[in-house]
Amino acid sequence: MIDDLRTLVEVESPSRDLNALRKSAETVAAVVEARLGGRAVLVDSEGGPHVHWSGGGTPRVLILGHHDTVFPLGTLERRPFRVEDGRATGPGVFDMLGGLAQAIHGLASLDDRSGVEILVTADEEVGSHSSRALIEERALACGAVLVVEGAADGGGVKTGRKGCGTFEVSVAGRASHAGLEPAAGVNALVEAAHQVLAIAELGRPEVGTTVTPTVASAGTLDNVVPAAATVVVDVRVESAEEKERIESAFAALVPRHDEAVITVRGSVGRPPMPESAAAGLFAVARRLLPGLEGRAVGGGSDGNFTAALGVPTLDGLGAVGGGAHADHEYLVVASMAERANLVAGLVDAIRSA
């Protein structure tokens, strides 16, 4: 597993870099074929190649993951793959190349791999726009989904996830000379500031809804009234009702200045993953691994899509570790065999049910 993990990590795969993603997909496919036999098919898309493999027979369970990472090309040179003091480090070891290596080896331990499919997508980190339809198609065909994203803190699986989305609020104003005739302009930055304060008030932490302005840009020169401004907002919700409320609130934003124009793009693109979707599979997982904890978390994954379809979905079955999207990302090596066996046990239990 460590050798295969090294192979996967050492082919960098930043989202949206189609050349890098093709090399990564080819590498994932080669590892799958070497360990499991058969043919791993590359499915081309605007977001990069997805990798699909089937063990044949009637589909019963989909193992779902992604091979794109958040790190730009060159990260590997600065932070190469290493195994030291019981930890594997390097870009993507925890999110989520370790989970892929474990799942592949878990399946390799089974003599019979019929009824199992693997889908490894290329654009999960940037919203899964090109892969969502394929994910939903294979999830419905299989009837159960095991997501090999990184484990929750402490090694637990993820039994619920918030729905998440990104909104972009653009303000169009009018430029003017900031010294000679500031009143002749329509200051998009000031308008955006009013909107940020209003947007931040949309959050309802008591019901799990967070609304967080994260990126803002405005202006061109220090002596020009800004004619344009943009604010990007991260949104997380726990219920479909809150999804609808937030989307309606963004659509209803109105400018303070009569001549300013507001344009809103975005939505809560990943629906919430209710804990009910994981309940049956989590019970099986606890029988296989007594003491295993389940947690609802704020981050989204492709499991949100499959759970929203009513397909039983258990998430967080991948690497035990931490530091997702950060330079201190790591994987606990001693947990790899146990997690691989957990995936294999779940596959067997699903097929025999």
pLDDT of residue 350: 98
pLDDT in tens, 271-316: 999 999 999 999 999 999 999 999 999 889 999 999 999 999 999 9
pLDDT of residue 151: 98
pLDDT of residue 6: 98
* Integer Cα distance of 159 and 238 in angstroms: 13
pLDDT of residue 19: 98
Q: Using alpha carbons, select from 265, 262, 349 the residue that is nearest to residue 314.
A: 349
Q: Which residue ranges of the chain lie beneath pLDDT 50? A: none
Is 129 strand, coil or helix? coil
- At the topology level, CATH places domain 2-161+273-352 in Aminopeptidase (3.40.630)
Give the total residue count for the chain: 353
Token pair recorded at residue 322:
């931490």
Radius of gyration of the chain (CA): 23
One-character DSSP codes across 199-257: HHTT-BGGGTBEEEEEEEEE-SSTTB--SEEEEEEEEEESSHHHHHHHHHHHHT---SS
174-204: burial string, b at 16+ Cβ within 10 Å, e else: bbbebeeeeeebbbbbbbbbebbeebeebbe
pLDDT of residue 242: 96
Report the predicted TM-score, pTM, of the whole model to 2 decimal places.
0.91
pLDDT of residue 236: 96
pLDDT of residue 346: 98
The residue extents of the domains of the chain are: 2-161+273-352, 163-270
Q: Where are the alpha helices (DSSP H) in 85-229?
A: 98-108, 132-142, 188-200
pLDDT in tens, 137-148: 999 999 999 999
pLDDT of residue 317: 98
pLDDT of residue 93: 98
For 337, how many CA atoms within 13 A lie in the half-sphere containing its CB? Answer: 1
pLDDT of residue 5: 98
pLDDT of residue 227: 98
pLDDT of residue 48: 98
| Residues whose CB falls within 8 Å of the CB of residue 250, separated by 6 or more in sequence, listed in order | 167, 169, 199, 264, 266
pLDDT of residue 330: 98
Architecture of domain 163-270: 2-Layer Sandwich (3.30)
